[in-house]
Structures are given as C-alpha cells and as structure tokens.
Amino acid sequence: MALSDVKIRKAEIRDKPYKLTDGGGLFVLVKPNGSKLWQQKYRHLGKERLLSHGRYPDVTLAQARKKRDEARMQVANGDDPAVQKRLDQIEAETQSRTTFHLVAEEYLQMAYDRELADGTMRKKIWHVETLAAPLHNRPIKEITSAEILHLLKKVEASGRRETAKKLRGTLSGIFRLAVVTLRAENDPTYAIKGALLPVKVTNRAAITDEKVFGQFLRGLDVYTGAGVIKDALLFQILTMTRPGEVRGAKQSEFDLEQETWSIPAGRTKMRRDHIIPLSNQALVLAKRNWIDIEGVELIFPSLNSNRKWLSENAFNSAIRRMGYTKEEVTAHGFRATASTILNTRGYDPDVIEAALAHQDKNAIRRTYNRATYWERRLTLMQDWANFVDAFREDS
C-alpha cells in the first residue's frame, strides 16, 4: 500500500528499525531514535543494491518518489544509481573546491612556462595576488560579471585606468582557462568589455633637444652615485633599448668578437629575438662591467648581489638624483630621444624602427628588414654613439 504523509508522520517508534514501504523498491526506514530515512532497493547486474535518498521530512514524499523514478530509469539504462550518486557528489565537491585562486595559480604557472618577460610576470602576479584578492576563495563558476565590474571599477576609481584594463585581461585569461578545463561555463569579463573608461595615453617623458640632451649627458658624467648604474644608464642610451633589457643583460647574450648583443625573445616586449650591433663605446662599457667570476651572469648586477638584477627603479632614481623630474625625463624616454634626433637628422625611419626592435605589421616586410638593414644598422648605431659623445662635448 502506498504511503502518505500522515502515515509517515504518525509512524510509531519501536525498539528495532522497521520499514514502511511505498512501492517500486522505495521505503522509509524508521529507527529507534525516531529518525526516518528514505531508502530504495534495486537490482543491478543481478545483485541487490541499496540507495539512500535522505531524511524525512527534509526530503518530502513527492521528492523521494521522484528520486526513486530517476533511479529506476538509470537502472533501465544499464547504470548503477549508487555509483552515479557518488560520482555526482565527487563532482559537486570538486566544483566547490575549484576556487578562483586555484585556477589563477595554474594560469600563472602556464605563463611562467611560456617564459614571459620578468616584468610581465610580476604584473600578472600582482594582478592575481593583490588586486584580485577578493575573488580568491570564491568558486570560479559562481563569479559573475557584476562582481568583476565592481572590482575593476574600484581600481579605475583610484585613477589607474590602464591597470584596470590590464587586470581585466588577466582575469579573462584565468576564466578562459577555467572554461576549457570544464570548471566554468563562460568568461564573465566578456560582458563588461566596453564598461571601462578608455585609457589616457601619455607619452614617456623624454629629452628631444640635442643641446638639452648634451646637458643631461654631462650631468651623467659627473654623477656621483654607483658606477654600475651610471654605466648601465649610458649603455641603455647607446643601445636604444629598454631599461629592463639592460638590467637583465647576461654575459651569454654577448659575442664580444662579433661585437653584438642578442636579447632573447623572452626578455623583449615584442616576444622575438633582437640582435644589436654594439658601437665601440657600448662595447667598452660591456667589457668594463664584465665580472669574470663563476656563477655571475649579469653585466650590470645589483649593488647588493652580483647575482641579482638592479632594481626596477634604479635608473629613474639616478635620474631624479641628477635633478630631473619625471615630467622632464624617464629612462624609457631615451628610446624616444634617439628616434627623434636620428629622424630629424635624416636617417631612414625603417632602419631606426628596426634598431628600436619595433614590430613591423607586415610579416614579409619584417623578415626582409631584418636581413636587409643589418649593415645600415651597424652604421646607425656607431653614428648614434658618436653623436652622444658630440652632444656631451658641445658645451
């Protein structure tokens, strides 16, 4: 006889457990302590099995019958409901443990394995560990676009529009990883793609007047700070490279006989190898700072350890001590200094761009330029070094 809620509620308490059957293998097990548990008998592969459906009245009669019918359908399809229930529990537990931070750690490891530039890795780590901290313990599949927008708008409101934009890019990469590994259904950053304010584009402060640049060079000559920073800063100017590329310059990247410096793709902004012909003046600086000690790789190492890089602010700090403000000149701005002066003096813009390692959008032209401009770049780099000497002497 089928059960009813009244019959279940009024079931007497006995000294031993007993069953109230409902049909289709479903029954309520009434225990001596008064608890009433839904259970179901079924047969799978010739063996009798038992499946639990929860406690009455937490699971109602109607809900228990629905669970019974679903289990019977699974048996009819050749599946074992108890096994499937356990698999579902494991999946639920796995999803509850799949937090944003766990996926983010995998994302950072993949970025590290791709050998991204050190500066890029530091920013990504900062994005994840500091800016995205409010998301760390949230199950990643439950995070909404509204949560992401709230996080990004807080960063944007602090005046860091570019940081907000780049943080969105990092978050998008994490969610896309979660999607392809079946731990999230979508990327919630996609819906807010146009919700951030545009980035304010500001050029790096740079000296573009030859006489003013000569004054700076004379100031660098009498700079009383650490000699390694002074030489590294001048080496950056002569090679028209980025500060990070100079700070990470290793002996293994230099061919002193061929007078070249080969920066590997992993340390360049454009993610491709960049070979620089060294002028006589740049070669002197490299040799002067060469430390012939086993285990020392850096040309311009930190003041604290010859196995560590100079700090990220080393160059700009030296420039500030020389009396220049950040509105007047920055270390990144010396590339603009070289480009402006050389273009003004009539050098081929394509050769200058190749010397600066700027990426040509046309792949065929890019390959052609790398092969064709080498001899002209040799001349350009030596001419630029000679100009730097001349600017310094022109008082």
Task: Give ∠ CA 109-115-120 in degrees, rounded to 5.
Answer: 85
CA 135 from chain centre, in angstroms, equals 16
Written as six digits, the tokens of 318 are 């030296």
The full 3-state SS of 193-213, as one line of letters, equals CCCCCCCCCCCCCCCCCHHHH
Whose tokens are 């760390």? That residue is 136
347 is a catalytic site residue:
no
Within a 10 A sphere around the Cβ of 144, how many other Cβ atoms? 11
The residue type at 162: E
Among 53, 67, 68, 242, the active-site one is: 242
Helices (H), the chain: 5-9, 61-76, 81-97, 100-113, 118-126, 145-157, 161-180, 210-221, 227-239, 243-247, 280-288, 314-321, 334-344, 349-355, 363-372, 374-393
Among 49, 153, 204, 332, the active-site one is: 332
Contact of 297 with 251, CB cutoff 8 Å: yes
Contact of 296 with 308, CB cutoff 8 Å: no
- Give the separation between CA 319 and CA 230, rounded to whole angstroms: 10
101 is a catalytic site residue:
no
242 is a catalytic site residue:
yes
18 is a catalytic site residue:
no
Among 44, 85, 204, 269, the active-site one is: 269
Residues present in the chain in total: 395
Among 86, 150, 345, 368, the active-site one is: 368
| Cβ within 8 Å of residue 65, ≥6 positions away | 22, 26
269 is a catalytic site residue:
yes
308 is a catalytic site residue:
no
Among 335, 347, 373, 392, the active-site one is: 335
Among 358, 366, 370, 376, the active-site one is: 358
The residues that are catalytic are 242, 269, 332, 335, 358, 368
